[in-house]
Amino acid sequence: MISLRLILLVFIISSSAIAQKDYKLWLQFDRITDTRLASEYRSRLQGIVSFGNSETSKIATKELETGIFNMLENKPDVLSEIKGENKIIIGSRAVLNSEIQKSISSDFDKINEEGFIIKTILFKNKKHILITGKKEVGVLYGVYNFLRLLQTNKSIQDLNIADSPKTNIRILNHWDNLDRTVERGYAGFSLWNWQKLPDFIDQRYIDYARANASVGINGTVLTNVNANALILTPQYLEKVEALANVFRPYGIKVYLTARFSAPIEIGGLKTADPKDADVSNWWKNKAAEIYKRIPDFGGFLVKANSEGQPGPQNYGRDHVDGANMLADAVVPFGGVIMWRAFVYSEHDANDRAKQAYAEFQPYDGKFRDNVIVQVKNGAIDFQPREPFHPLFGAMPRTPLMMEFQITQEYLGFSTHLVYLPKLYQEILESDTYQKGKGTTVAKVIDGSLTKTKLTGIAGVSNIGNDLNWTGHPFAQANWYGFGRLAWNPNLDSETIADEWLRCTFSNQENFIKPVKEMMIQSREAVVNYMTPYGLHHIMDTGHHYGPGPWVSNLSRPEWNPVYYHKADKNGIGFDRSKKGTNATAQYAPEIEKIFDNLETCPEKDLLWFHHVSWDYKLKNGQTLWNGMALKYQEGVNQVKDMQNIWNKTEKYVDADRFREVQMLLEIQYKEAKWWRDACLLYFQQFSGKELPKGVEKPIETLEYFQSLKFPFAPGN
């Protein structure tokens, strides 16, 4: 009777636990339903022995305790010494007892400062599981990884895992403004409630830190790259300090964006010239003031001389002058400067794709050691697909940091299910040929190619104050996957999807297999229904919501979609070959050759690099026009497939999330058709050709699509 009630209780609590599961992200710690496995786990997890007494250590213990309890309904005892067998022993190297220390000392050679070891050991002839690391945070990472073994129903017999992050800075960039709006944010508004800080510590700050630590993210830039200098005033630094205090035990450092003109705006100076002594002193003092409050402050992220942001060029200086001046200010405290390479000049309209390279490549080797140049994955701006940014193969003497976008500015906001690690992986695996074949972007980023000590991956956050953090339940996977790839850029996106699904939803194979397939395909689907064959930047203006290939009236040429697709009666595409803007020359010769030649250029990037006739024969035998139209249709069909897959998952998923994803897929299907119809109707004006068989006829007219307005689209 009681056990029946227990089951009923769990059932009802979960069904009335409104939005609860969504909120818990991949840290659900659901009860393990495989009774054999649960019983095996129970037998091996008979208590926790926790050495160490730091905040981080307490968190690690608590996570283990709660995680195990929730998954196994078995509250493990927390003990102060090792007795009996089958205990989980946790503690950093320094606090382990000497016997254990000695027995695994060679294991520590396998990990770096943030790495962890999970190992089955014998202590006084009894088996135990040890989770350790060189530092406390390594233990915490180990604990989350161990819990993930349970969450994904892996064996915990004879464990011997040693793992370390492959990059130093694994960081979220929040484009959050001080009024709590989030630029390109589609999951509500900023988590940072500046008005109630520093005295009110929202539980979400803790849960945010927890989620990040669980995937190894170790830094956060709290503020928008389009920066406000006020964040650097004492009134705000006091609040930043409070957040830093929350995040510290989770191994997360706080960074801020530095508005280059801050010395004028809040410092009362007449200039922000980086060569001016007052200016550099102002920044030195500001850094000292910040580090006094936050001794482990990470440093500054800077967007300078880009899209209206002030920078060194306002004073006739260059990026190196600006970055190095700031680097000197933070170097005494161990801080870094992340200087963004996302620049394009309105005075050089030849090819926006070439500009970051043109401006930054000559500076290779000229930055201070504590400067890292942050480069977007592609040369335009977070499109559904871009070839890798040529800078990754062009600055061997400069630490380069990847900037991925997790928020879906150009990929359907938080309504479209698009699994981004697939996109990230495509970029990371791209071969730069910087030092011959096999020198992938991942190797540039993780420092293994250039032996740089400063490495990093940044992700523009998709997190907001929506109950489920990311707006779309599956957008949580993009946060998760970003973290996992920042930890190890060589991970496979499919493996990550598998992990995430198991931790977030269910271990049932009948659920995992189709839904993982759906996630993997989702990225190609969005490319197909938005920008197939290398099309790019054809979204509507400002808010970037929906198609707008017709837009041609914006003041700067490179803001207009027509600049990018260049459709005319002869064909479509941006000629970046030698015969065009010669952007291909920014790549290593091996790649340049491939991209430059219409015949060898990968078809997925065709219209990125070439202007191609409507009758051009694709590899599948279709003309470009027909092939393009069929791709748009294929994207729509893929979303329909995704709906079909999801509709069969009802029995594996809680009602709330099932219903949410179902509604969102319906919107995605609608909008995929909108993209298809609007783009094909528009391009048809140039091709003058009928839609091929298999492509559905648009119901609305081009004029209808052109008339749509979205005055309050979010994130704008």
Q: Which is nearer to its own copies, 125 or 203 (CB)?
A: 203
Tell me the C-alpha distance between 435 and 445, whole Å: 14
From residue 420, give the alpha-carbon distance in Å to each of 167, 312, 439.
19, 34, 23
Query: Should residue 194 be labelled a site residue for its own copies when binding is judged by CB under 8 A?
Result: yes
Please, which of residues 601-660 interact with its own copies by CB under 8 A?
656, 660
Task: Show the binding pattern over residues 537-556: x = contacts its own copies (CB under 8 A), - = does not.
Answer: --------------------
Tokens of 436: 């011959």
Q: Does 230 bind its own copies (CB under 8 A)?
A: yes
Nearest distance from C-beta of residue 45 to its own copies, angstroms: 16
| Identity of the residue, 157 or 710, whose beta carbon is nearer to its own copies in the bound complex | 710
Give 467-511 as a 3 state SS string: CCCCCCHHHHHHHHHHHHHHHCCCCCHHHHHHHHHHHHCCCCHHH
Between residue 656 and residue 695, which ones bind its own copies under the rule CB under 8 A?
656, 660, 663-664, 666-667, 670
Q: Which stretch binds its own copies (CB under 8 A): 11-19, 331-339, 389-397, 490-498?
A: 11-19
Residue 307 appears among annotated catalytic residues? yes
Question: In this structure, how many other beta carbons lie within 10 angstroms of the beta carbon of residue 308?
Answer: 8
Q: Which CB, 443 or 543, lies closer to its own copies?
A: 543
Catalytic residue among 30, 176, 273, 409: 409
One-letter amino acid identity for 641? D
Q: What's the CA gap between 151 and 214, in Å, rounded? A: 13
Helical axes 421-428 vs 493-504, angle rounded to 10°: 160
Q: What is the DSSP letter of 328?
A: H
Q: 265 or 603: whose CB is closer to its own copies?
A: 265
Q: Going along 217-354, which residue ranges are E strands? A: 219-221, 253-257, 299-302, 336-340
Work out how close the CB of 415 gets to its own copies at its nearest, in angstroms, rounded to a whole number. 6
- Residue 314 interacts with its own copies (CB under 8 A): yes or no: no
Q: Is 264 in the site for its own copies (CB under 8 A)?
A: no
How many residues sit close enough to its own copies to count as binding (CB under 8 A)?
56
Q: Rule CB under 8 A: say whether 713 interacts with its own copies.
A: yes
**Residue 183 or 276 with smaller CB distance to its own copies:** 183
Q: Encoding tokens for residue 46?
A: 């008979």
Select the residue interacting with its own copies from 83, 110, 196, 292 (CB under 8 A).
196
When the beta carbons of 119 and 148 are compared against its own copies, the nearer one is 148
User: 504-530 burial by CB neighbour count: b if 16+ within 10 A, else e?
Assistant: bbbbbeebbebbbebbebbbbbbbbbb
Report 393-422 residues binding its own copies (CB under 8 A): 413-415
State which of residues 81, 451, 600, 712 lies at the interface with its own copies (CB under 8 A): 712
What is the rounded CA–CA span in Å between residue 69 and residue 79?
A: 16
Give the interface segment with its own copies, choosing from 13-21, 53-61, 144-152, 481-489 (CB under 8 A): 13-21
CB atoms inside a 10 Å sphere around CB 365: 10
Q: Which two tokens stand for residue 707?
A: 């008339």
- Hunting for tokens 């065009």 — which residue is that? 580
313-322 burial, b at 16+ Cβ within 10 Å, e below that, comes to bbbebbbbbb
Q: Which amino acid is at 118?
A: I
- Give me the least distance between CB of 670 and its own copies, in Å please: 7
Q: Restricting to residues 34-93, which ones interact with its own copies according to CB under 8 A? A: 66, 69-70, 73, 75
From 55, 307, 650, 690, active-site residue: 307
Q: How far apart are CA 38 and CA 507, in angstroms?
A: 13
Cβ nearer to its own copies, comparing 75 with 617: 75
Q: Does 594 bind its own copies (CB under 8 A)?
A: no
What are the residues binding its own copies (CB under 8 A)?
2-3, 5-6, 8-10, 12-13, 15-20, 23-24, 66, 69-70, 73, 75, 178-180, 186, 188-189, 194-196, 199-201, 203-204, 207, 230, 413-415, 465-467, 656, 660, 663-664, 666-667, 670, 710-714
Q: Which residues are catalytic?
A: 307, 381, 409
